[in-house]
Amino acid sequence: MNNSIIKNKTGSDKLRKAVRSLLFAAVWVALWQLAAALFGNGVLLPTPLVVARTLVKLARTAVFWRSAGFSLLRVTAGFFFGVAAGTCLAALGGVCEPAEVFFRPVISLVRATPVASFIVLAVLWVKTDAMPVFISALMVLPVVSDAVSKSINACDPELTQMAKAFSLSRPRLIFRVLIPQILPDFLAACTSGLGFAWKSAVAAEVLVMPRWALGTRLRNARSLIETPELFALTAVVIIFSVIIEKLLIFLLGRVNRR
């Protein structure tokens, strides 16, 4: 009976939060409509209805989906490259302290340098289509590396000593003792890094303009002063980012529970 009460309470809380979120969203849409009516003039700030119609119009074209697909592919590739590189650097630093000291200035430099600066410099080194992948990986790397490094340093040494006392093999020590302590921080870093991957990849696309990319369409819409399309494409980027983030949280949550 207590379990059913807890489940009912949890369900009502989720419903209340969902209703509240929808109400707040409706308020913001109403404010947007009011601002567009007062100051937009149909060019500077289109109404929500115009943006929605433009979004539907874009969704009916194959060119839009091809651009969105390539952008999604670049973000995904850059994200996984960044996660892999950041995890490897953190693991190497955890095993070999001189390596951690050696790579620390580079990671700090990557974290502090603006995305636009990297894009301008990387134009000399990387092909146009690969640029967003490289930039997004570069932005994800320090996020994951810092989180995993801190988690490794915070591991309980008593658990490691206990595992050694029970003569656990090195693979079992890693998978049974170390990874469970590192995994929560790693999952949080992946979630944060995905947002950086989207922002940096689209920014790179805007500057280098690959043939098929949402960033390229954003820049063309700005050049042609197609404000409704500019808003619609921005909404697409946000929607894609939220959907993939929720999917990643779901998948990583299942991994964490297992």
CB neighbourhood size of 113 (10 A): 13
pLDDT, position 165:
61
Tens of pLDDT along 103-141?
Answer: 888 888 888 888 878 888 877 777 777 889 999 999 999
Architecture of domain 46-257: Orthogonal Bundle (1.10)
Lowest mean pLDDT among 4-13, 80-89, 201-210: 4-13
Tens of pLDDT along 131-184?
Answer: 899 999 999 999 998 888 888 777 766 666 665 665 656 666 666 667 777 888
Cα–Cα distance measured from residue 77 to residue 145, given in angstroms and rounded to the nearest whole number? 17
Tens of pLDDT along 202-230?
Answer: 988 988 888 889 999 999 988 888 888 99
Q: Nearest 5°: CA angle at 132, between 85 and 212?
A: 140
Amino acid 222 reads R
Question: Considering the chain, what is the average pLDDT of its residues?
Answer: 82
> Is the CB of residue 103 less than 8 Å from the CB of residue 89?
yes
Query: Token pair of 106, please?
Result: 């580079």
Is 96's pLDDT higher than 90?
no
Helix (H, G, I), strand (E, B) or coil at 45: strand
Is 32's pLDDT higher than 60?
yes
Is 8's pLDDT higher than 60?
no
- Residue ranges of domains in the chain: 1-41, 46-257
Cα–Cα distance measured from residue 141 to residue 108, given in angstroms and rounded to the nearest whole number? 11
Global pTM reads: 0.81
Q: Which residue has the higher pLDDT, 64 or 15?
A: 64
Alpha-carbon distances of 176 from 41, 74, 90, 172, rounded to whole Å: 62, 34, 19, 5
Token match 């620390």: residue? 104
Cα–Cα distance measured from residue 105 to residue 91, given in angstroms and rounded to the nearest whole number? 17
Lowest mean pLDDT among 40-44, 129-133, 158-162, 245-249: 158-162
Confidence of residue 248 (pLDDT cuts 50, 70, 90): confident
Is 250's pLDDT higher than 90?
no
Cα–Cα distance measured from residue 234 to residue 19, given in angstroms and rounded to the nearest whole number? 25
> Is the CB of residue 177 less than 8 Å from the CB of residue 159?
yes
Cα–Cα distance measured from residue 228 to residue 168, given in angstroms and rounded to the nearest whole number? 61
